[in-house]
Amino acid sequence: MQPPSLSSEQRSAASAKAVANRRRRAEVKAHLRSGHLSWHDLIALAHVDEVVAALRVQEALLCLPGVGPQRLHRFMKQANISPTRRLRGLGPHQIASLNEVLAR
């Protein structure tokens, strides 16, 4: 099955939207790295901003100060979260588990 054909205007609009979404996610990750945005703020933001909700949990956790690949792997395993999970897909138990692990 072929995807629908798009006009050049539709294609350029979709491209511009994708670039804006990537920039927004990069901005949020930069705020996480700098400490201007906390994990709790990120979860709250993901509930209202669909672009932020599309961010992978792994990417977000790696941006937190003090979280590297080894701690990330341990956190994801303890919270029973798939490596491909996005913020929008986190359930209340997974969020609570991550909050508990990050508080240590």
Separation CA 82–CA 85 (nearest Å): 5
Separation CA 7–CA 9 (nearest Å): 5
pLDDT tens figures, 57-70: 999 999 999 999 99
Separation CA 85–CA 15 (nearest Å): 24
Determine the pLDDT at residue 48: 97
How many CA atoms does the CB half-sphere of 34 hold within 13 Å? Answer: 8
Other CB atoms within a 10 A radius of the CB of residue 55 amount to 23
The domains found in the chain, sorted by start residue, are: 9-103 (1.10.8.50)
pLDDT tens figures, 18-44: 999 999 999 999 999 999 999 999 999
| Res. 51: pLDDT tops 80 | yes
Determine the pLDDT at residue 1: 81
Rounded to two decimals, the pTM is 0.85
